[in-house]
Amino acid sequence: MKDLNNIKKKTKEAGATSVLLSLIFDVNPSTVTGWNSNITQPTLQIIDEIAKFLEFENCDLIISKKRKQTGLAKATQAEFKKLLASGISHKVPSTDKDGNPIEINNPELIKLLWNFVENYKKKHK
């Protein structure tokens, strides 16, 4: 898994330890270990609290990822509209765990959209 946070680094820079973080935020030390090793991620609210305690900006705790802009979201939105216009339903009937009728996202539509995304990414590397 790719690193998503800098909590371990920034904790050390602030002169604190993982044990202190676990006490301050009243979490199991293994929770902080998970954050430090990027196996698990804290919520944005917890990141805000950690940043406040360590006296860093929130963005200092999150590793930024540079991404090429290809228009993927806009193209996928257009494909979604096209699929709906072709008659594919957004929602389909189903039942919940108790047998009650519910509507869920159409699995066929989801599959078609993800196929579009993957093909778009291949074309726009």
Give residue-wise pLDDT tens across range 52-110: 999 999 999 999 988 899 999 999 999 999 999 999 999 999 999 999 999 999 999 99
Predicted confidence (pLDDT) per residue in 15-52, tens digit: 999 999 999 999 999 999 999 999 999 999 999 999 99
By the 8 A CB rule, do 124 and 72 touch? Answer: yes
81-98: burial string, b at 16+ Cβ within 10 Å, e else: eebeeeeeeeeeeeeeee
Amino acid at the residue 17: T
* 101 bridge partner residues: 95
Tell me which H or E stretch contains 104: strand 101-105
Instruction: Return the bridge partners of 62, or none.
Output: 5
